[in-house]
Amino acid sequence: MAPALPFTVLVPARLASTRLPNKPLADIAGLPMVVRVAQRALASGASRVVVAADDARIVDACAAHGVQALLTRTDHASGSDRLAEACTLLGLDGDDVVVNVQGDEPLIDPALVRRCAELLAERADCVMSTAAHPLTEVADYLNPNVVKVVLDAAGRALYFSRAPIPWQRDGATVTAHSVAPALPQPAPLRHLGLYGYRAAFLRRFPEMAAAPLEQTEALEQLRVLWHGERIAVHVAAHGPGPGVDTPEDLARVRALFASMRDGGPAARGR
């Protein structure tokens, strides 16, 4: 049997949120959301899971439930900057594998977290790994809040976009007021905000110049491609459980946890 792959999961957690104040501390079935995320990440087989927080209240909440947490600066421009600081504080460098699990994904699939780490370890030609799944709804394909990714023959990302890509030239009816497309085949891929990094690259990433494409699309991962680096993509069979961005999302996730606790059907991907 192959030895277990050592990897670290980092969970960036920022207390300020315009749509859902104090989001990391939101109660989900008796535990703060960030603790629920850390528990799911630990189930992936990670060597350790560390929350990178911007507020002592998050650190204290994690400590109260046996979750390791670090206090990072409050002025980071992005989650990647926060993770780079966490790598430095933890002494991670070189080929150490780090997986970034967002702090608002309390239903993240532990197997998907592990696969992201394994994929990076398998792909010496890539500095990062991530995940995607096939889209089945036209509304998601057209939604700019659903990020799409297209791949090359080796399963590496060619481009990420909020636009509906790839666009099927002969599969849509376009007028001045509407677009009525059919989904391309094979199905377009929705990008999932789960990333694996080699620690040396993660520490270098904030020093790389921002890309014009990144600024246009508001997608930080485009900086990696713009600088000529490669990202390996795992294509999952289905989407993850719902994340939490709004009070409505929080209510939905609370209901799913209550259903699981009461013996109802487990939360399934969208």
SS3 annotation, 213-229: HHHHHCCCCHHHHHCCC
Give the separation between CA 85 and CA 83, rounded to whole angstroms: 5
Print pLDDT tens along the chain (270 aa): 445 789 999 999 998 777 788 999 999 999 999 999 999 999 999 999 999 999 999 999 999 999 999 999 988 888 888 999 999 999 998 999 999 999 999 999 999 999 999 999 999 999 999 999 999 998 899 999 999 999 999 999 999 999 999 998 777 655 556 666 778 889 999 999 999 999 999 999 999 999 999 999 999 999 999 999 999 999 999 888 888 989 999 999 999 998 887 655 554 444
- In the prediction, which pLDDT does 151 show? 98
- In the prediction, which pLDDT does 182 show? 78
Query: pTM value?
Result: 0.90
204 phi/psi in degrees, rounded to 5: -85, -25
Alpha helix locations (H) across the chain? 33-42, 56-64, 79-90, 110-122, 138-142, 199-204, 212-217, 222-226, 247-261
- In the prediction, which pLDDT does 264 show? 54
Give the separation between CA 144 and CA 218, rounded to whole angstroms: 11
- In the prediction, which pLDDT does 267 show? 43
Give the separation between CA 83 and CA 52, rounded to whole angstroms: 7
DSSP code at position 22? T
- In the prediction, which pLDDT does 79 show? 82
- In the prediction, which pLDDT does 177 show? 60
Question: What is the residue extent of each domain of the chain?
Answer: 8-131+190-261
- In the prediction, which pLDDT does 169 show? 79
The topology under which CATH files domain 8-131+190-261 is Spore Coat Polysaccharide Biosynthesis Protein SpsA; Chain A (3.90.550)
- In the prediction, which pLDDT does 269 show? 41
- In the prediction, which pLDDT does 39 show? 96
- In the prediction, which pLDDT does 268 show? 44
Compute how many other C-beta atoms are within 10 angstroms of the C-beta atom of residue 93. 13
- In the prediction, which pLDDT does 1 show? 41
